[in-house]
């Protein structure tokens, strides 16, 4: 039979689900793929062939990107979810996550959830000023803006546990029925996020139901490159007096001047300094070990 191509939406053990024009096919990976050391990921564009009575995945298209945790390929957009409260936003952690996603060249936007619980204007202003699209959501309202953002793309939510990612997924489509609530409280009959799956959106596109980015590893970034991943610095860097300025001292630095003028959010700059120090001391540790 002829080859057909589709999207790998779910994988469990050696069983895969491939979607072709809205139809789901159960498939196994052909041995040769394994022999070549190719590990299939959710989000992969694959080729299916019917062999006797079963479908086999016989080929895989080149990936546009590849995330390790969660393991998903070809993601178009990452939505970083922050709660207005409960848990309170952790700016350093959020900015670290954003830098990590920027480093990987991913398209990122921000969703402030639980807007029913606390003021969110400052958070919104901070990230809009940094150049991110910010959408507001709550389980108490209809989240049209978020759904518009997810339309026709493969998206994944990121953010701390408890900010409401699973609740947002359930609100988009009740059939998704993802498990919500505090960790450890297992509600029977619900889907725990143990393996990644692409959930098809009625409006087009998919959302990756993932356990979230629990661990963010910035260690591959050199301290002196960190500024590249704080996107709002870019507009001002040319005006720093010293070539290669890393914006950590206020001497003739345009970035720090813009912080004092309020054009760059203080919390973003504080995160930058703190991450810079973290990376710098890491580098020094490695350096010493080498000697």
Residues that bind ligand GDP (CB under 6 A): 113-114, 116-117, 138-139, 161-167, 180-181
The reply to whether 143 sits near Mg ion by the rule CB under 5 A is: no
Rounded least distance, CB 180 to ligand GDP, Å: 4
Q: Which of positions 241-280 make contact with Zn ion (CB under 5 A)?
A: 245, 247, 253, 255
| Binders of Mg ion in range 154-173 (CB under 5 A) | 165-166
Task: Name the minimum Å distance from CB 109 to ligand GDP.
Answer: 16
Task: Report the residue number, 166 or 271, with the smaller CB distance to Mg ion.
Answer: 166
Instruction: Tell the smallest beta-carbon distance from residue 93 to Mg ion (Å).
Output: 17
Q: Between residues 54 and 85, which has the closer beta carbon with respect to ligand GDP? A: 85
Minimum CB–partner distance for residue 170 and Mg ion (Å) = 10
Residue 240 within binding range of Zn ion, rule CB under 5 A: yes
| Partner interacting with residue 113 (select from ligand GDP, Mg ion, Zn ion, none; CB below 5-8 Å by kind) | ligand GDP
Number of residues engaging Zn ion in binding (CB under 5 A): 5
CB 145 within 8 A of CB 135: yes
- Report the partner that residue 221 touches, choosing among ligand GDP, Zn ion, Mg ion, none (CB closer than 5 to 8 A by kind): none
Q: Catalog residues that contact Mg ion under the rule CB under 5 A.
A: 165-166
């Amino acid at each position: 039979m002829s080859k057909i191509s589709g999207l790998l939406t779910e994988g469990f053990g050696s069983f895969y689900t491939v979607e072709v024009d809205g139809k789901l096919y159960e498939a196994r990976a052909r041995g040769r793929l394994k022999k070549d050391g190719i590990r299939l990921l959710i989000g992969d564009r694959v080729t299916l062939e019917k062999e006797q009575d079963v479908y086999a995945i016989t080929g895989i298209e080149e990936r546009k990107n590849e995330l390790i945790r969660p393991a998903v390929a070809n993601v178009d957009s990452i939505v970083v979810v922050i709660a207005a409260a409960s848990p309170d936003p952790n700016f350093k952690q959020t900015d670290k996550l954003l830098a990590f996603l920027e480093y990987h060249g991913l398209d990122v936007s921000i969703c402030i959830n639980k807007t029913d619980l606390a003021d969110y204007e400052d958070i919104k202003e901070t990230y809009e000023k940094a150049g991110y699209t910010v959408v507001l959501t709550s389980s108490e309202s209809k989240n049209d803006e978020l759904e518009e953002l997810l339309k026709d793309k493969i998206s994944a939510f990121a953010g701390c546990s408890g900010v409401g990612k699973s609740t947002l997924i359930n609100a988009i489509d009740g059939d998704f029925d993802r498990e919500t609530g505090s960790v450890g409280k297992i509600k029977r009959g619900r889907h725990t996020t143990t393996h990644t799956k692409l959930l098809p959106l009625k409006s087009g596109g998919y959302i990756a139901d993932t356990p979230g980015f629990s661990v963010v590893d910035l260690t591959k970034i050199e301290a002196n490159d960190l500024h590249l991943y704080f996107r709002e610095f870019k507009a001002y860097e040319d005006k720093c007096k010293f070539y290669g300025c890393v914006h950590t001292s206020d001497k003739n630095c345009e970035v720090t001047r813009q912080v004092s003028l309020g054009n760059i959010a203080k919390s973003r700059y504080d995160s930058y300094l703190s991450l810079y120090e973290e990376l710098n001391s890491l580098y020094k540790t490695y350096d010493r070990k080498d000697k």
